[in-house]
């Protein structure tokens, strides 16, 4: 049994816990008001299964029952969880999502066994101390990016991560579906994108400078029904799935499938295959009308699959050498009166900005898309530090803060020699806990454009689900608290208190089967001796 003081992310206010509280057993009844159906289903399927509790329907006034209701006097996503002796458990949410987040807190109050899929001990009663928890999120966008393009994560793995996100009150899954190394979503009008583009013949093992190769073919993709299932499963957990289709860079897998998409007047695109190594690839999309029409086809099918307000178009790391050498690209620059190759990239992004807006959606892209100007409704993912977020907010654009130096979870967690494939700066659990999403120096009006924050799990050196778990956890727990809780300034945050609460949370992660990095360092099977990484020494620049 867990007290309200061990909840992660930390709730806004806790009264108690005191006394004996409420006992849940086979006789406990569950009453669900309109608007709480998804939480009702989740409680029976998840908490009910873990503890062997049927949670049968019952009247609102049932003694020691569980009651769910929407209360519009509370803020969106906020909740009040009341455990009242002789009355039962009540979860009020400002909206259906708030009720669901309250149920996630209830799960933590029931101890680590509540995170299992079936009962492990022959108990029949489960006690929760008398207490009242009032809570709500700081940010509307609390995201995790899963890069399923570099290393494919099968559908069941994505569903598992949606459950892990829900347990941490995260509500946006950013799926990075396309890149040079693989195309992961079925597009019916262009079947070669997955027939050819979804697999590569081998894979670089480690950093791109590593001499090691995994000679096995690697691939996989999600059918459109897989995507529908993922989106529906996420929606049941009040999580929005934001797809990313990368343009105009990071596109070799698409060009390998359809060579006419590339700069055919510069390179023999028919000789290209899906890329098997890492880094910034020179093979980018040709700025032709045919390319635009092709990707409009792609986005039309993507819009039908993903109901999200935002559609991510990438827009980062687009080398310009092929465009400089391409008569076709140069003719387009002259025809449109653009400011060189940078203007050409801005034109490419601007086309889809307008195209998406005409269909009631909003474009979001990495902060490079700022360089050519954006339509009013477009938003920015600020990854190159704070600067992109500051520029976007000051220009009146919404922004999601995900600076590489702070919340890129492929970066190593410790400076020790035993960290597997060490990449980038050391970003420890404490470093993530002290991350502040709102850039310094913004006015209140500008800061209001910060929709929230996102942690990004890039998978170049994460070759299997165990490696993803190791890089993501436990740091995602710290990130979730940063995204949800109203914490003090970074230097005044109680990291020692967070570590104490993590002692209980590690037991929950164990019950969930998460292969996190232990506080004392990697276990023998989590190491990758001899696999070259790219460590960067010193503290990351605060920019």
pLDDT of residue 1: 47
Catalytic residue among 163, 297, 301, 317, which? 317
**108-141, pLDDT tens digit by residue?**
999 999 999 999 987 778 899 999 999 999 999 9
The DSSP bridge pattern shows strands 126-135 and 79-84 to be antiparallel
Catalytic residue among 250, 312, 397, 411, which? 250
Tokens of 235: 């929606």
**Residue among 353, 356, 338 nearest 287 (CA):** 338
Catalytic residue among 40, 147, 179, 341, which? 179
Is 367 one of the annotated active-site residues of the chain?
no
Query: Rounded CA gap, 447 and 130, in Å?
Result: 38
Residue 224, pLDDT > 90, answer: yes
Q: Could you tell me what percent of the chain has a pLDDT over 70?
A: 99
Q: Could you tell me what percent of the chain has a pLDDT over 90?
A: 93
Residue 253, pLDDT > 90, answer: yes
Question: Using an 8 Å Cβ cutoff, are 359 and 300 in contact?
Answer: no
The DSSP bridge pattern shows strands 141-147 and 240-247 to be unpaired
Query: Rounded CA gap, 253 and 185, in Å?
Result: 12
Query: Rounded CA gap, 455 and 252, in Å?
Result: 25
**Burial class of 76 by CB neighbour count within 10 A (0 to 12, 13 to 18, 19+):** middle
**299-310, pLDDT tens digit by residue?**
999 999 999 999
Task: Compute CA 206 distance to the chain's CA centroid, rounded to the nearest angstrom.
Answer: 23
**467-498, pLDDT tens digit by residue?**
999 999 999 999 999 999 999 999 999 999 99
Is 317 one of the annotated active-site residues of the chain?
yes
Query: Rounded CA gap, 386 and 401, in Å?
Result: 8
Mean pLDDT of 166-192: 98
pLDDT of residue 467: 98
The DSSP bridge pattern shows strands 126-135 and 423-424 to be unpaired
**351-387, pLDDT tens digit by residue?**
999 999 999 999 999 999 998 778 778 999 999 999 9
**Helical spans, DSSP H, in 182-221:** 192-195
Query: Rounded CA gap, 165 and 510, in Å?
Result: 15
Tokens of 188: 């019916």
Mean pLDDT of 29-50: 97
pLDDT of residue 345: 94
Is 321 one of the annotated active-site residues of the chain?
no
pLDDT of residue 375: 76
Question: Using an 8 Å Cβ cutoff, are 365 and 248 in contact?
Answer: no
């Amino acid at each position: 049994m867990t007290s309200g003081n061990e909840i992660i992310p930390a709730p806004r206010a806790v009264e108690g816990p005191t006394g004996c509280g409420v006992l849940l057993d086979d006789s406990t009844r569950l009453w669900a008001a309109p608007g709480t159906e998804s939480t009702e289903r989740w409680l029976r399927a998840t908490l009910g299964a873990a503890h062997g509790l049927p949670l049968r329907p019952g009247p609102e006034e049932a003694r020691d029952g569980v009651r769910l209701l929407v209360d519009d006097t509370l803020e969106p996503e906020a909740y009040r969880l009341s455990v009242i002796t002789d009355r039962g458990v009540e979860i009020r949410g400002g909206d259906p999502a708030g009720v669901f987040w309250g149920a996630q807190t209830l799960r933590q109050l029931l101890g680590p066994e509540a995170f299992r899929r079936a009962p492990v001990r022959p108990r029949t009663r489960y006690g929760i101390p008398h207490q009242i928890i009032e809570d709500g999120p700081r940010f509307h966008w609390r995201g995790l990016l899963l890069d399923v393009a570099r290393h494919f994560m099968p559908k069941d793995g994505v569903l598992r991560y949606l459950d892990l996100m829900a347990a941490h009150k995260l509500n946006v899954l950013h799926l990075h579906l396309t890149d040079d190394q693989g195309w992961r979503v079925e597009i019916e009008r262009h079947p070669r994108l997955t027939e050819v583009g979804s697999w590569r013949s081998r894979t670089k093992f480690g950093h791109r400078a590593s001499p090691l190769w995994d000679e096995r073919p690697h691939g996989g993709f999600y059918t459109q029904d897989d995507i529908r299932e993922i989106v529906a499963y996420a929606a049941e957990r009040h999580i929005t799935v934001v797809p990313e289709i990368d343009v105009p860079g990071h596109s070799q897998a698409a060009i390998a499938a359809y060579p006419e998409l590339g700069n055919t007047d510069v390179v023999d695109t028919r000789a290209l295959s899906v890329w098997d190594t890492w880094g910034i690839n020179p093979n980018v999309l040709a700025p032709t009308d045919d390319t635009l029409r092709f990707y409009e086809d792609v986005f039309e099918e993507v819009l039908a699959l993903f109901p999200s307000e935002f559609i991510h178009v990438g827009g980062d790391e687009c080398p310009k050498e092929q465009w400089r050498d391409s008569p076709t690209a140069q003719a387009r620059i002259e025809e449109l009166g653009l400011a060189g190759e940078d203007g050409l990239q801005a034109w490419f992004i601007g086309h889809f900005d307008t195209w998406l807006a005409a269909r009631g959606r909003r474009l979001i892209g990495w902060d490079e898309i700022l360089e050519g100007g954006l339509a009013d409704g477009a938003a920015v993912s600020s990854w190159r530090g704070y600067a992109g977020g500051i520029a976007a907010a000051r220009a009146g654009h919404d922004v999601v803060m995900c600076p590489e130096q702070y919340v890129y979870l492929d970066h190593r967690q410790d400076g020790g020699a035993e960290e597997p494939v060490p990449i980038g700066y050391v970003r420890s659990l404490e470093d993530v806990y002290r991350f502040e999403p709102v850039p310094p120096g913004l006015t209140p009006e500008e800061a209001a454009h910060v929709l929230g924050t996102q942690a990004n799990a890039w998978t170049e050196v994460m070759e299997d689900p165990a490696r993803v778990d190791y890089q993501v956890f436990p740091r995602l727990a710290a990130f979730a608290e940063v995204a949800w809780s109203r914490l003090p300034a970074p230097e005044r945050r109680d990291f020692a208190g967070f570590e104490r609460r993590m002692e209980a949370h590690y037991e929950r992660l164990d019950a969930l089967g998460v292969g996190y990095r232990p506080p004392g360092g990697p276990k023998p099977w989590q190491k990758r001796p001899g696999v070259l990484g790219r460590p960067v020494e010193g503290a990351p620049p605060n920019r």
